[in-house]
Amino acid sequence: RDVKNLPAMHVLGISWFTDSMKEGKPVAVETRHLIEVCGNLGDLCPAWWPERISLTHLCDALEVLAESYEFKEIPGRCLAFRRASSVLKSLPWAVRCLRDTEGLPCLGEHSKAVMEEILQSGHSFEVEKTLSDEKYQTLKLFTSVFGVGPKTAEKWYRGGLRSFSDVLAAPGIHLNRMQQSGFLHYGDISRAVSKAEARALGNLIDEAVRAVTPDAVLALTGGFRRYRGKEFGHDVDFIVTTREPGKEEKLLTGIIERLKQQGLLLYCEYNASTFDMVKLPSHQFEAMDHFAKCFLIVRLEGGRVEGGLHGAEGDGRGWRAVRVDLVSPPMDRYAFALLGWTGSRQFERDLRRFARAERRMLLDNHTLYDKTKFLAATTEKDIFAHLGLEYIEPWQRNA
């Protein structure tokens, strides 16, 4: 594209290279030299480039930096990298050079510099340095345990702990119940959950729900509601409610009791509802919602899963542990809870920001508040309409 702007010597270099590529001749040219010549390999041979640097590659790099700033508790920078990664994720075109991202929002100077380095050389010095940093590696390992957040991980790291065996052997460490289960089922719950497994869990929860209240409403939410392709999740999220006002909390405890009786409950943390319309709207931006909910680890039998358990070849147990979240809003809050729990987190954040900045409204998992009144909604479409936005399907909310 920009060949005409290059000095003659370089143009010669390019035509020799492209001709050789067309003829299928192997070309032994140092990447470094080619970059000097062309500035970008993608421009030179677009057909060959996308296999080397995909959008996923760029997003992963930005996510590493986001995570490292999350560990360092610098939320602004963390968010900037997450935003940049989200914007790239939603692009319908390939990015071969920085020019392909011109005019896009949310790409800060730092993110652009990282992307440019990767697009030109295949690597980012900062990302590689982060990945090989002992503290980053240790915090990443510790926070991969269910129940261990950045603060606990940091505390363990400061105490000189570097591995799971260090943690488990350390005399002064008290693991709470959630962390104990996190270690106990670590192998299973750090393994991705397949769509077939999510479906099997849906059936299992559905049976439990029907046994408690035949007219209950159960909906799959979270990542599995957004995915269309072969994506995997880290847990399975459901919303469950009933048309009988005030009975939704009983429904949730009923489901838990039934799963327990069936011997399927490996862990359960139940949070009772603290939902109170009187205390709304909330001006807290990122607060957790107030609905009754539970964080579970459920035993899933391989026989219930179409095509069998994912990645369990040869372990011989015939079951696996899966993380499941159930949230139970009152029926008139269902649409808000569904929209909020469908995610992605970044999408939710942006939608709330849009509501506030562009519409002067407050949106959260409970309500949509317009200056003086709460707006009613029975479906997600109602909420989009109140916001003056075109409805978008869950699979379009992945960024």
- Contacting Mg ion (CB under 5 A), which of 154, 197, 237, 348? 237
Distance CA 57, CA 119 (A): 10
Q: Checking DSSP bridges between strand 265-271 and strand 292-301, what pairing results, if any?
A: antiparallel
Instruction: Give the residues across from 267 on adjacent strands.
Output: 297
Q: Which does 194 bind (CB under 5 to 8 A by kind): Mg ion, ligand DCT, none?
A: none
Near ligand DCT by CB under 6 A, which window of 31-39, 70-78, 159-167, 339-347? Answer: 339-347
Please give the structure tokens belonging to residue 179.
């962390």
* 161 neighbors 139 (Cβ within 8 angstroms): no
Contact flag: residue 344 with ligand DCT (CB under 6 A): yes
Contact flag: residue 235 with Mg ion (CB under 5 A): yes
- Contacting ligand DCT (CB under 6 A), which of 365, 366, 367, 380? 365
* 162 neighbors 134 (Cβ within 8 angstroms): yes
What residue number has its CB nearest to Mg ion? 222
Please give the structure tokens belonging to residue 82.
């997450």
Given the structure tokens 């999408």, which residue do they identify? 347
Q: Which is nearer to ligand DCT, 129 or 345 (CB)?
A: 345
Contact flag: residue 223 with Mg ion (CB under 5 A): yes
Please give the structure tokens belonging to residue 150.
């950045």
Q: Which is nearer to ligand DCT, 96 or 320 (CB)?
A: 320
Contact flag: residue 249 with Mg ion (CB under 5 A): no
Catalytically annotated residues: 235, 237, 325
Q: Give the contacts of 327 (CB within 8 A, at least 6 positions apart).
A: 221, 237, 238, 239, 240, 289, 291, 292, 293, 337, 341
233 secondary structure, DSSP code:
B
Nearest-5° angle of CA 77, CA 67, CA 175?
130
- Contacting ligand DCT (CB under 6 A), which of 340, 361, 387, 397? 340
Shortest Cβ 29–ligand DCT spacing (Å)? 42
Contact flag: residue 330 with ligand DCT (CB under 6 A): no
- Contacting ligand DCT (CB under 6 A), which of 223, 254, 330, 394? 223
What angle, 0 to 180 degrees and rounded to 10, lies between the N-to-C axes of helices 334-342 and 345-359? Answer: 120
What is the radius of gyration, based on Cα positions, of the chain?
Answer: 25
Contact flag: residue 222 with Mg ion (CB under 5 A): yes
Residues that bind ligand DCT (CB under 6 A): 222-223, 233-235, 237, 288-289, 340-341, 343-345, 348, 365
Residues that bind Mg ion (CB under 5 A): 222-223, 235, 237
